[in-house]
Amino acid sequence: MSFLSQLHQQLGLMSWPLIICSVITLALWLERILSLLWVSLRGEQEKRRLRSQGLSYPGEASEQSVSVMLQGCRLLIQHKECPKPIREDLAAVWLQHQRRRLHAGLRVLTLVGVISPLLGLLGTVLGLIEMFKNIGASGEPVTPALLADGLGLAMSTTAAGLLIALPAIAGAQLFGLWADRLLDRLTHELNRCNLYLEGLRLGDQA
If one counts the domains in the chain, the total is: 1
Domain for residue 172, yes or no? yes
Domain for residue 9, yes or no? no
Average pLDDT of the chain to the nearest whole number: 81
Q: What is the pLDDT of residue 49?
A: 65
Owning domain of residue 178? 18-197
Confidence grade of residue 9 (pLDDT, cut at 50, 70, 90): low
Residue range 145-162: average pLDDT?
A: 79
Domain for residue 2, yes or no? no
Alpha-carbon distance 12 to 88, whole Å? 56
Q: What is the DSSP string of 95-150?
A: HHHHHHHHTTTHHHHHHHHHHHHHHHHHHHHHHHHHHHHHHHHH-SPP-HHHHHHH
CB count in 10 Å sphere of residue 129: 11
Domain for residue 10, yes or no? no
Output the CA torsion sign for 8, 14, 20, 21.
negative
Domain for residue 6, yes or no? no
Domain for residue 88, yes or no? yes
Confidence grade of residue 13 (pLDDT, cut at 50, 70, 90): confident
pLDDT, tens digit (0-9, with 9 covering 90-100), for 176-195? 999 999 999 889 888 888 88
pLDDT, tens digit (0-9, with 9 covering 90-100), for 19-59? 899 999 999 999 999 999 988 887 777 666 666 554 455 55
